Amino acid sequence: MARPAAGGLLRFGFHGLSYAHIARVLPRLIGETAKGRVVVAHLGHGASLCALAGGRSVATTMGLTTLGGLMMGTRSGTVDPGLVLHLIQARGMAAVEVADLLNRRSGLLGVSGISDDVRVLGASEAPEAREALDLFAYRIARETGSLAVALGGLDALVFTGGIGENAAGIRASVCARLAFLGLDLDPERNAEGHSRIDRNGSTVAVLVIPADEEREIADEVGCLVSA
């Protein structure tokens, strides 16, 4: 990869420890499929997706900062860059106000006007809560499709992170939107919290794997100490 010129900026992405953990344990769960085209969805208060090819990251939804990509608890995710200019130039907002709006008052909280917590929204009967959850799942599915294009197809989808591991409804909503890719979710396995939640015969493996970023840190430190 070419390095940026002096003063340039790099697209880094985030949640690297989480994705490293998934890449390490996935072969034990799905064998050779882990070397194929995999999208990992790290879904928590912060959320991103990562495309893995041969166990290595080739694309991610986050970029220079944690604001880009998916809609999150209080972060907007990717928006039209012109929106920022409009808020500053036409609405007279200061840059710090725009930053606060996009980072702390958008996402699930901003759309619902109720909460940034999917558990609270899931228990609410307010239509705004349903709208926020539907948009959250839609954005995840849409970006998964985008990464599938980057990979040239999709062999496995992995959910991780607090929401990814515990919100069966979000997983079901995302997977329903991706059925056209050959993904066939098993509703019972999904509801019961199995690690493998696709139906037998699904052309795309679907898994739930707990995040273990602390383990990755420990392993990295161990490698440095023993080197």
User: Model confidence over 114-134: pLDDT tens digits?
Assistant: 999 999 999 999 999 999 999
Please report the domains of the chain, with CATH numbers, ordered by start residue: 16-71+132-226 (3.30.420.40)
Position 222 scores a pLDDT of 83
Ligand-binding site membership of 164 (annotated)? yes
Q: What is the chain's pLDDT, residue by residue, as a tens digit (227 residues)?
A: 566 677 788 888 999 999 999 999 999 999 999 999 999 999 999 999 999 999 999 999 999 999 999 999 999 999 999 999 999 999 999 999 999 999 999 999 999 999 999 999 999 999 999 999 999 999 999 999 999 999 999 999 999 999 999 999 999 999 999 999 999 999 999 999 999 999 999 999 999 999 988 888 888 888 888 87
Tell me the CA end-to-end span of the chain in Å, nearest whole number.
27
Q: What integer pLDDT is reported at residue 32 of this predicted model? A: 97
Q: Is 161 known as a binding-site position?
A: no
Q: Are strands 47-53 and 56-60 parallel, antiparallel or unpaired?
A: antiparallel
192 is annotated as contributing to ligand binding:
no
What is the percentage of the chain residues whose pLDDT exceeds 70?
98
194 is known to lie in a ligand binding site: no
Tens-place pLDDT, residues 188-198: 999 999 999 99
The answer to whether 165 is annotated as binding is yes
Residue type present at position 112: S
- Report whether 44 belongs to an annotated binding site: yes
* 36 known member of a binding site: no
The reply to whether 15 sits in an annotated binding site is no
| pTM metric for this prediction | 0.94
On whether 119 is known to bind a ligand per the annotation, the reply is yes
Q: Is 42 annotated as a binding residue?
A: yes
Buried/exposed 124-144: b ≥16 CB within 10 Å, e otherwise: beeeebeebbebbbebbbebb
Q: Judge whether 46 is annotated as a binding position.
A: yes
Question: What pLDDT does residue 178 have?
Answer: 98
- 80 labelled ligand-binding: no
